[in-house]
Amino acid sequence: MPSTNAVDLAAHPLTAWRGPLGLPDFAHIGDGDFSAVFDAALKAHEAEIDAISSNKATPSIENTLAALELGGEALDHVSSIFWCRAGAYTNETIQALERDISPKMSRHFSAISMNEKLFARIDDLYQRRESLNLDPETLRVLEKTWKGFVRSGAKLDADGKTRLAKINEELSSLGTTFGQNVLADERDWALFLDEADLAGLPDFVKSSMAEAAEMRGRKGRYAVTLSRSIYEPFTTFSERRDLREIAYRAFTMRGQNGGASDNTSVVRDMLKLRAEKAKLLGYASFAALKLDDTMAKTPKAVHALLDPVWERALEKAAADQKELERLAAEAGSNEKFAAWDWRFYQEKLRAEKFAFDEAELKPYLQLDRVIDACFDVATRLFGITFEEKKGIAAWHPDARVFAIKNADGSERGLFLADYFARPSKRSGAWMSALKSGYKLGHGSKPVIYNIMNFAKPPAGEPALLSVDEAKTLFHEFGHALHGMLTDVTWPSVSGTSVSRDFVELPSQLYEHWLTVPAVLEKHALHVKTGKPMPKALLDKMLATRTFGAGFATVEFTASALMDMAYHARPDAPEEPLRFEAETLSTLHMPDTIAMRHRTPHFGHVFAGEGYSAGYYSYMWSEVLDADAFAAFEETGDPFNPALAERLRKNIYAAGGSKDPEELYTAFRGKMPSPAAMMVKRGLV
């Protein structure tokens, strides 16, 4: 491996992006390149920070705040490629690098946030902010930067700073370990079946399982994996109760199987360190620290949303379970109704109530047509268009590249998408950016990507999605639009750089357009006949939108309440998994429903800080998204041009340039109550 001194950051393909369309030249990037380039980029950024902090001139927006925002470009470039690879296409080399780089990055950014001379310059600007005649966005960036330094320990004494830096470094390493352990359990477990074991499974599930088995070297067999795109339909349709139980237990025990990939001690150590960090910074709990910069502000406000929803969800789930137990008894089952029975009998109940089998929808939800629907809605709402660019190398052959254009034909940026599950990709779905869009300095056009985990079909066959998967695609594309449409000056408030409980609004709101009849009529075409979804089937699908609300709301809200239970206390539980069981017992959690994310694999909360003390934010944003789409429904036009323009300007384009309440009120005229969300979920 070349030495750090040998790396030319101005020419290396990891930092100087000279591939097609201004992308990194992925074809010339090797796993062995990252370490030396990271070291060189960290050193270069340290020199930039030193130049800013040592500047003898009076602090100004240009020589301090703007210099800080625009610094570290080489580090941004190599980081964005590396973390994309670590999530979407990893291997042992990348994972070893991740374990090495995570603490290095933590040390680097701790040193910046605790740099006394740098903070003195930021503090000088902050104290003079009223006399600097700043525009609102610049003032907000200055205030957020100052608060960020303080929340990162800038005002601690020397011992406090040293301890906080050590805590952050340990948390970074533990978060990496947590994520890698979950990936190992998901990668290493598969249940291989034969044709005789497939009773009840529709062809699309069999096809996905056959492909998954072949990917694992078992051609001719069928594999149940722990990817949701296989696990959920298998447990929904399989008539083999014994196999459903095996799959359920494996899925819910990810990260808790003993041995090297067990996350029990990782969670314990993370919770202790987070509690210590909060205390060091003067907060009553880690939740108080994390919520300080959100719309909710306090754990009490979070509970004011979650607790009433929880009570309604428990009532709904209990009523639904009686119906499911009836169906099980009628089918001749003498077994006690269990968690691995819920999806199976819920699908039977759907068929009974609505004469509707969700498998009927699959042929109408081809992946490529759902992608087209995403693009079409964006064009109708916001005027942007998408053109696929074939033959351009990205991080994996499955990743696709699209050029984005404004209504006037000018270039807006790039969108990359990687849709299929594979053992080298962590589970779930997410959006991120190789580059953010902003106007400061020379400016930057956004390069945004989506990652999914849909089951890959055999060669030559189209990928078919479930309704939930199609919603996931729309959801992540909503996040992508937040990054693509950004129209701000400062990088730190670009795109999705908003409070955690506001960031899900653009994504969850976008899901609503999937089920707009005009969208389905145009894009939900049968895979074989090309005919649109029959109105009768469409009506059934729309009628079932709130079906299963009890189950869905209990599994989500249990995870959100558990997250708050861990983080709203001033200390940390000695045995987190015992605390999980005790908390769920206190909440009267049904033993027939599992949390959507149990503690040992709750990546949102423990694979980094991401949604720690913040998983509630999906529901907080859901209050906003239900109200926001109601605005379109009130006009009778889901593509109302005047409303779409207000939506673009105040939500999708504004990033974090203003307070989220101010942005939402500018769009809607008022803040919402949870009522519309409760109705949307079918809990009222």
Q: Which of 476, 504, 555, 580 is catalytic?
A: 476
Closest to 272 measured CA to CA, from 178, 179, 174: 174
Distance CA 332, CA 353 (A): 20
Amino acid at the residue 285: S
For residue 650, the 8-state DSSP code is I
For residue 156, the 8-state DSSP code is S
Q: Which residues contact 362 (CB under 8 A, 6 or more apart)?
A: 202, 204, 464, 465, 466
User: Is the separation of the CB atoms in 276 and 641 below 8 Å?
Assistant: no
User: Is the separation of the CB atoms in 607 and 341 below 8 Å?
Assistant: no
User: Is the separation of the CB atoms in 473 and 375 below 8 Å?
Assistant: no
CA angle 264, 268, 274 (to 5 degrees): 145
Q: How far is CA 515 from the centre of its chain?
A: 22
User: Is the separation of the CB atoms in 404 and 385 below 8 Å?
Assistant: yes
- φ, ψ for residue 452 (rounded to 5)? -125, 175
* Inter-CA distances, 289 with 267, 306, 608, 661, Å: 19, 19, 16, 20
User: Is the separation of the CB atoms in 565 and 267 below 8 Å?
Assistant: no
Distance CA 273, CA 168 (A): 8
User: Is the separation of the CB atoms in 208 and 201 below 8 Å?
Assistant: no
Distance CA 400, CA 387 (A): 11
Closest to 449 measured CA to CA, from 439, 466, 462, 436: 436
Distance CA 182, CA 208 (A): 22
E strand spans, 230-302: none
> Is residue 633 annotated as a catalytic residue, yes or no?
no
- Work out whether strand 400-405 and strand 191-193 pair parallel, antiparallel, or are unpaired: unpaired
Query: Catalytic residues, which ones?
Result: 476
